[in-house]
Copies of this chain bind each other. A is one copy, B any other.
Amino acid sequence: MKKSLDGWRREIDAIDEKIVRLLIRRARSAVAIGKKKREQASPVRDSSREKEVLRHIRKVNKGPLSGKALTGIYRRIISACLKLQKKAED
């Protein structure tokens, strides 16, 4: 059976709940990484690791989102997680 507009919106709401929960888990992992880096006296920002993350997500991508669009979303995610790492330092 074909989904109605409302049916598709409910599908998106369900997907969004999963995405938000994963973003929360990602943010918590980033905070844990921030603590590890502090213990090791490493800098919080690591541009080679950021490039690795972006390469990885583009590899997993199968469309219809373009690599560019996905990279744009991920730059936001990485930046939000980085801010949390820095905040955890205070």
Q: Which residues of A contact B (CB under 8 A)?
A: 3-5, 8-9, 11-13, 15-33, 36-37, 40, 49, 53, 56-57, 60-65, 69-70, 72-74, 76-77, 80, 83-84
Q: Can you list 17 A-B pairs, Cβ within 8 angstroms, ordered by A? A: A4-B36, A8-B36, A9-B49, A12-B29, A12-B53, A16-B74, A18-B22, A20-B57, A20-B70, A22-B22, A24-B64, A27-B65, A28-B64, A31-B64, A64-B84, A73-B77, A73-B80
Whether B40 contacts A5 by the Cβ 8 Å rule is yes
SS class, residues of chain A in contact with chain B = helix
Count identical subunits in the complex.
Answer: 2
A29's partner among B8, B40, B56 (CB-CB below 8 A) is: B8
Whether A15 contacts B26 by the Cβ 8 Å rule is yes
B-chain residues with CB within 8 Å of residue A27 when the two chains form the complex: 63-65
